[in-house]
Amino acid sequence: MNPWLSAIPTAIATGYIFYWFFYSVSLFGSSQGTFNLGQLESLKRRALLRAGVLFTLTLVILGFRLEITKLVAAWKEPSQATSRDIRVWVNTRSGFYYCPGTELYGKLQPGKYLTEANAVQSGYQPSLNRSCR
């Protein structure tokens, strides 16, 4: 789901609650006991403006927070996938696999290329007791 769409209900609730909060505080905090229609409209507009600012801030903060969380997860995922997708040379006779850049990589026979994850899953051991990462 789009993070901005999931942030909208929280932002609406925040704006609604703070509108009534600011309006109530303005009504009860005033030193005058009676208001004319113009003063009430002015109080409503100020309360709506303040609540609108809080609505916008809530929407932006939650929307960006959820978007950043998705971006960080997407950024971390490929690096984990690429480290597991390293092609290793598996010596099928000895049961060891060799990382790229090592002396025996691709040279010992019989052998085949596998990803490191598949080699480990198939029961092969790293030749230097270390993974290729």
**13 has a pLDDT exceeding 60:** yes
Does residue 112 sit within a domain? yes
Q: Which residue has the higher pLDDT, 35 or 15?
A: 15
> Strand ranges (DSSP E) for the chain?
87-91, 96-98, 111-115, 125-126
pLDDT tens-digit map of 21-62:
888 888 887 766 677 788 888 888 888 898 989 888 888 888
Output the six-digit token pair for 45.
Answer: 């507009």
Peptide bond just before 9 cis, omega within 30 deg? no
pLDDT tens-digit map of 119-132:
888 999 988 888 88
Total structural domains within the chain = 2
- Within this chain, do residues 49 and 108 fall inside the same structural domain, yes or no? no
Q: How far is CA 85 from CA 34, 37, 72, 99, 119, in A?
A: 75, 71, 20, 12, 10
- Within this chain, do residues 100 and 61 fall inside the same structural domain, yes or no? no
- Within this chain, do residues 93 and 71 fall inside the same structural domain, yes or no? no
